[in-house]
Amino acid sequence: MLNRPLSFFRAAWSAFADGFYPPTCLGCGRSLWLWRDAFLCAECENNWSWLNDNGCRRCGEPLGRYAAGVCQRCRTKKPAFTRAIAVAPYREGATDALVKDFKYHGNRRLAKPLAELLAARIRRCWSLDEIDWLTAVPLHPDRYAWRGYNQSWLLVEELAARLPLPAAAVLRRVRDTPAQANLPVEARRQNLRDAFAATAPLTGKKILLIDDVLTTGATANECARALRHAGATRVFVATFAR
């Protein structure tokens, strides 16, 4: 019962600190006193890395500057999702800092600029006629109570206004699982097996699943399996980082 008040006080302290302490660049720590609404300094913005279209046509894994097609992992074991795309490479430049501040440090204001970049990438890769609903990778209720928000759903809310597309919470997390970060690929798959379920029939629907980061693709794959089990014909995945 203490988790919800704790998340409220964390959010309140974040708002208080933002008002009284100079903001700093999330990439290098440089003061942003004169640009209080910015998250990165000009130098970090100029050094920003982008993902291009030279990636696996299934999971988006970078294949090299001149490569194209499907990666070895997707050829060996075809994922349940149709295609995954992302905006920026994870753990390069300021991407890692932006994601962690958004996900773990209560910086909900990042939802808007991250969604703007993600919306542009989505429009470039797909026609909106191919998509019926937007949805997010869900958090387990216990994790949500502790964090106070689902960063992926914040992105969905911003994207729904920008694309525009209807959003629906058609997934739920039925089993809380240990953190994925330090697990090898196969262990991640086993860790998430049957952790998600659809909340309604999805017969014939085409779903765009949103998350902040895709690494091995295990979470996206299990969500896609649950959506397809409910009748979805295609599941696209879009994340900010890859």
pLDDT score recorded for residue 22: 60
**155 assigned to some structural domain:** yes
DSSP at 98: H
Between 141-145, 224-228, 238-242, the lowest mean confidence (pLDDT) is in 141-145
Q: pLDDT grade, residue 40 (50/70/90)? A: confident
- CATH number, domain at 88? 3.40.50.2020
How many structural domains does the chain have?
1
**109 assigned to some structural domain:** yes
Q: pLDDT grade, residue 188 (50/70/90)? A: low
pLDDT score recorded for residue 13: 44
Between 63-72, 86-95, 233-242, the lowest mean confidence (pLDDT) is in 63-72
**134 assigned to some structural domain:** yes
Mean pLDDT for the chain overall: 85
Could you tell me where the beta strands, DSSP code E, fall in the chain? 83-88, 133-136, 171-173, 196-198, 206-213, 234-241
**44 assigned to some structural domain:** no
Q: Which range marks the domain in which residue 119 is found?
A: 49-241
**140 assigned to some structural domain:** yes
Q: Which long-range contacts (CB under 8 A, 24 or more apart) does 157-160 make?
A: 157/111, 158/111, 158/112, 158/114, 158/115, 158/116, 158/119, 159/115, 159/118, 159/119, 159/122, 159/134, 159/210, 160/134
**104 assigned to some structural domain:** yes
174 or 154: which leads in pLDDT: 154
CA angle 197, 187, 103 (to 5 degrees): 65
- End-to-end alpha-carbon separation of the chain, Å? 35
Sheet of strand 83-88: strand arrangement: 83-88, 234-241, 206-213, 133-136
Task: Give yes or no for a contact between 140 and 176, defined as CB atoms under 8 angstroms apart.
Answer: yes
With a CB cutoff of 8 Å and minimum separation 6, the contacts of 208 are: 122, 126, 131, 133, 134, 135, 165, 236, 237, 238
**8 assigned to some structural domain:** no
For the chain, give the percent of residues with pLDDT over 70: 81
pLDDT at 8 over 70: no
Task: Give yes or no for a contact between 148 and 11, defined as CB atoms under 8 angstroms apart.
Answer: yes
